[in-house]
Amino acid sequence: MPLVSMGPMLRRARADGYGIAAYNMIDFNSAKSIISGAAELSAPVIVQVSVKTVKHWGYAHVATWVRMLAEDAPVPVALHLDHCTDIDVIRRCIDAGWTSVMFDGSALPFAENLEKSSLVYGLTETAGVGLEAEIGAIGGVEDDKVVNDDQSRLADYDECLRFVAAMPNLAVFAPAIGTAHGFYKGEAKIAYDLLERITKAIDTPIALHGGTGLTDEQFTRCISLGCGKVNISTMHKRLFIDGFVGLKAERPKLEEPLPFLAAQHDAMKGDVMACIRTFGSAGRAAEAAHAA
């Protein structure tokens, strides 16, 4: 199918109580593993890319890979830009064919975050692509951004309402609710009460950042409370490396490269499929495509 925009399919997911997996791709093989895992389970999926990865490969290359893989797949695929603070990068992604972008103004004071997010909202609405925007401060390490424990900050409820009211067609809203990027040191402390208050007041689907390391119960509870988009990055990166070097450890004399790529692909795809099953989006491709 042609690439789709994530907003309508996320609204459908939230309304029907399931979550759509949003994986951070690394290269062509990784994008292929994400889309083939979704295709095998007839699930909608979001392929998202960090700013660092886009700059590494180039805008046109990333967009072309994902568009070609999506066109060959029988499931709806969205191409999304993850955490971005640079409006110029956002413009270039929109021009290159991304179907949604995230503007991350969470490091800014609320009024400035609202002002800049609203400006990007104007751009995305004009271009017909989706926008994800964040408030509060999600802890951990994402790309080059480090938010220490003492700097992480839950989203403020009243600010959430003002923020979303200013952007009624926001594709997905990312309030900080206690999850963190990277591997958790202990168990994640999710502010379910805050999440529930937010989702009782607004219909916009919520993005769950920092998905790696959450338990099935935590995923299920967050999804039932309105998290329509579930981000997985750290585990995918781990399997990208382990899938490759694991085979070398097993078969040190192997010199042919393609089996390494296959081992890497299969390790990543297995995790994609396990998450899709947990999030409840297996078999939802047709309804998501219809919504899109």
- Residues forming contacts to Zn ion in the complex (CB under 5 A) are 209
Least distance (Å) from Zn ion to the CB of residue 124? 18
CA-CA distance, 117 to 169, in Å (whole number)? 13
Q: Are strands 172-175 and 145-147 parallel, antiparallel or unpaired?
A: unpaired
Tokens 């047709």 belong to 286
Distance CA 184, CA 192 (A): 18
Give the tokens for residue 128. Answer: 């017909």
Catalytic one among 27, 82, 216, 271? 82
Least Å from the CB of residue 266 to Zn ion:
26
**263: helix, coil or strand?**
helix
Annotated binding site for Zn(2+): 83, 104, 134, 181, 209
Q: Copy the structure tokens of residue 15.
A: 């309304």
For residue 38, give the nearest of 52, 26, 23, 50 by alpha carbon. Answer: 23
Nearer to Zn ion, 71 or 86 (CB): 86
Determine the Cα–Cα distance for residues 173 and 227; give it in Å rounded to an integer: 9
Q: How far is the CB of 207 from Zn ion (least distance, A)?
A: 8
- Edge to edge, the sheet with strand 180-181 lists 145-147, 139-142, 180-181
* Residue list, annotated binding site for dihydroxyacetone phosphate: 182, 210-212, 231-234
Residue among 214, 153, 151, 221 nearest 187 (CA): 214
Residue 24 C-beta: closest distance to Zn ion, Å: 9
Question: Whose Cβ is closer to Zn ion: residue 106's or residue 199's?
Answer: 106
| Cβ-based nearer residue to Zn ion, 199 or 212 | 212
Neighbouring residues of 107: CB distance < 8 A, sequence distance ≥ 6: 85, 137, 145
The set of residues, in sequence order, having a beta carbon less than 8 Å from that of 117 and lying 6+ positions away, is 103, 105, 131, 133, 163, 166, 167
Nearer to Zn ion, 14 or 229 (CB): 229
**Is 88 a known active-site residue?**
no
Binding residues, by number, are: 83, 104, 134, 181-182, 209-212, 231-234
Of residues 14 and 209, the one with the C-beta less far from Zn ion: 209
Q: Are strands 139-142 and 145-147 parallel, antiparallel or unpaired?
A: antiparallel
State the DSSP code for 138. -
With tokens 């950042």, the residue in question is 209
Q: Which is nearer to Zn ion, 22 or 247 (CB)?
A: 22
Nearest alpha-carbon partner for 221 in 180, 181, 269, 179: 179
**Annotated catalytic sites, by residue?**
82
